[in-house]
Structure formats: structure tokens, C-alpha cells
Amino acid sequence: MTRKFFVCGNWKMNGSKKSIGELIQTLNTAKLDPNVEVVCAAPAIYLELTRSELDPKFSVAAQNCYIVPSGGFTGEISPAMIKDCGVNWVILGHSERRHVFGESDELIGQKTAHALENGLGVIACIGEKLDEREGGITEKVVFAQTKVIADNVKDWSKVVLAYEPVWAIGTGKTASPQQAQEVHDKLREWLKTNVSEAVANSVRIIYGGSVTGGTCKELASQKDVDGFLVGGASLKPEFIDIINAKA
């Protein structure tokens, strides 16, 4: 089964109206591989601006959401609000949400369920820290994180799994193509055993962790790497090269 290559640029807490406008202009005029699904995850305050100015061939994602439609939750946004801005994706479980803001597997599972119930696609992030990899428990960690997400998914066609080793995010270190492929392959086996063979074959598993124009081609050549979740490089012209990694 052919899985459509999927590249999401996670702008994190970066940008201004001016710089985002320039980035959008670069994307709108770039020559891109038409066989790639591209999503841009803008800061919440710029979601509507991004959606209104970005070419419709691109999708837009929020970087987070909460577990209820509305209420007394200062600083949070809901899937309903995200949809109201014309945005159809959300990133959940990013390592920065887990390890900087203390979000638990359980909360990420609840967010996944609520986002999917309200019609958003979910880019669900999983990944191990350096001490966990060095301790030989990478699989144990990523399988446990994946299980909580899987327990909250009814329709896998709306889910992209993003494997991002925490030790490779913003550090300049990248998992080798072989390390990435190995974990993606194990994740697919886990889905086959614990969800279904059909889901294992169809769900896209993307790699995140200091992906650059220099590392993307070899990573993209791995048979179970179905795209990228790109941080800092998504704010630079090399993002175009990353989108075109399979071309």
C-alpha cells in the first residue's frame, strides 16, 4: 500500500506577522512535489492569519488543544475553536508538551479522543529521552505512549504518528536513518499486533528530530519513514528541500 508522504512544519513559539507573511510567500511560490501532503503548524495567535494567506493546497495545524469544547480554562484553545478558524489538524503529545509542560500520557490520550471526535486530524507524537535510549528501553517507552493514543482512536485515517526521539530535538543530533527505520518498523509491528494489519499498513509514521535539508533525503528513503515533523528548519528556505525529499 502506498502511503502519501506527509511533512509538517512545526513553527513552535516563533514568528511575527511579518516573518510569517514572508514564509507563507516562500511556500506559496515554491515548486513542490505534488505527491506530498504539507501541513504548517502555526502559533495559536497566528492560526487564522496563516490559514487565510497560505495557498489552499497546504493544510494548517494548531500546536495543541484542550479536552473540552469551552469553559474556564485560561490560555487554552479547543478543537471547536481551531475548526472555527478553518484549521483541520492539531499536534498532540509533542515532547515539549510532555517534558516542559508536564503533560501525562493519559492527558494526551484524552486530547486525542476529543480532537478526533470534533473532526480534527491528529499528529500524535511519541519518543524516548536519551537516558531511556541508553538504558535500552526505547521500545518499552514508545509502545506505552502509542498504546494510550491507540486506546483513544476510532478512525485511524485521521491520525499520523510522529516518532521523535527527544534527544534529537533542537540538539542538532539526528537519529541515523537506520535508527529511525528500526523504530518505525517496530511501531508498525506493534500496530499490526495490537490494532490491525490494515491500520499498520496504512497509518503514516513520520520522523521528527533535527530534520534538515542535509539529512532528509536519506531518511526519506527508509521504507517505513512516511514523512517528517520539522522544527527549526521549517522556518527556513530549506523546508522546501525537505518537502521535496522524495522527488
Q: What is the DSSP string of 95-145?
A: HHHHHTS---HHHHHHHHHHHHHTT-EEEEEE---HHHHHTT-HHHHHHHH
- The answer to whether 99 is a known catalytic residue is no
| Chain length of the chain | 247
- The values of phi and psi at residue 137, to 5°, are -115, 25
**Distance, CA of 247 to CA of 123 (rounded, Å):** 23
Give me the catalytic one of 96, 103, 132, 164.
Answer: 164
Residue 94 designated active-site: yes
Q: Which residues are within 8 A (CB) of 5 and not within 5 positions of it... i.e. 6 or more apart?
A: 33, 35, 36, 37, 220, 226, 227, 245, 246
- How far is residue 214 from each of residues 120, 170, 172, measured CA to CA in Å? 32, 15, 12
In the set 22, 94, 114, 132, the catalytic residue is 94
Enumerate the active-site residues. 94, 164
